[in-house]
Amino acid sequence: MSTYRDAGVDVDAGEEAVDRIRSAVASTARPGVLGSVGGFGALFDLAALRHYRDPLLVSSTDGVGTKAVLAAQLGVYDTLGFDLVAMCADDLVCTGAEPLFLLDYVLVGHLDPDMVARVVDGIAAACREVGAGLVGGEMAEHPGQLPEGELDLAGFCVGAVERDRLLPQRVEPGCALVGLASPNLRSNGFSLVRKVFAERSLSGEAWAGAGRSLGQVLLEPSVLFAPRARLLLDALDVRALAHITGGGMAAKLGRVLPEGCTAVVDRASWEPPRIFAEVQRAGRISDDEMARVFNLGIGMVAVVPAEQAAAACSLVEGARIVGEVVAADTGAVGRVRWS
> Do the domain assignments include residue 226?
yes
Which residues does 31 contact at the CB level (< 8 Å), separation at least 6? 48
Residue 333 has what pLDDT?
54
The parent domain of residue 16 ranges over 11-32+51-165
201 and 328 part of one domain? yes
214 and 299 part of one domain? yes
Residue 82 has what pLDDT?
98
Looking at residue 93, which CATH number applies to its domain? Answer: 3.30.1330.10
269 and 304 part of one domain? yes
Residue 5 has what pLDDT?
83
248 and 161 part of one domain? no
Residue 328 has what pLDDT?
87
Distance CA 309, CA 176 (A): 6
Distance CA 196, CA 334 (A): 31
**Pairing, β 176-181 against β 261-265:** unpaired
Residue 112 has what pLDDT?
93
Q: Which helix (H) or strand (E) holds 22?
A: helix 11-26
Please state whether the predicted TM-score (pTM) of the whole model is above 0.75.
yes
Backbone angles phi, psi at 243, to 5 degrees: -90, 115
Instruction: DSSP for 199-265, please give it.
Output: TS-TTSBSSTT--SBHHHHHTPPPP--HHHHHHHHHHS---EEEE--TTHHHHHHHTTPPTTEEEEE
Residue 331 has what pLDDT?
56
17 and 157 part of one domain? yes
Closest alpha carbon to 231 in 98, 100, 320, 56: 98
> Do the domain assignments include residue 267?
yes
Residue 289 has what pLDDT?
96
Tell me if 83 sits within 8 A of 100, measured CB to CB. Answer: no
> Do the domain assignments include residue 46?
no
- How many CB atoms are closer than 10 A to CB 106? 25
The residues that bridge with 240 in the sheet, in sequence order, are 303
Closest alpha carbon to 243 in 235, 233, 255, 232: 255
Looking at residue 253, which CATH number applies to its domain? Answer: 3.90.650.10
Closest alpha carbon to 201 in 213, 190, 209: 213
301 and 191 part of one domain? yes
Residue 98 has what pLDDT?
98
Specify the number of domains making up the chain: 2
> Do the domain assignments include residue 329?
yes
157 and 181 part of one domain? no
Divide the 339 residues of the chain into consecutive groups of 10 and give the mean pLDDT of each group: 78 88 95 84 94 98 96 95 98 98 96 95 98 95 89 97 98 98 96 96 93 96 98 98 94 93 95 97 96 96 98 97 89 72
> Do the domain assignments include residue 327?
yes
57 and 193 part of one domain? no
DSSP 42: -
3-state secondary structure of 38: coil
107 and 250 part of one domain? no
Residue 330 has what pLDDT?
59
- For the chain, what's the residue count? 339
Residue 263 has what pLDDT?
95
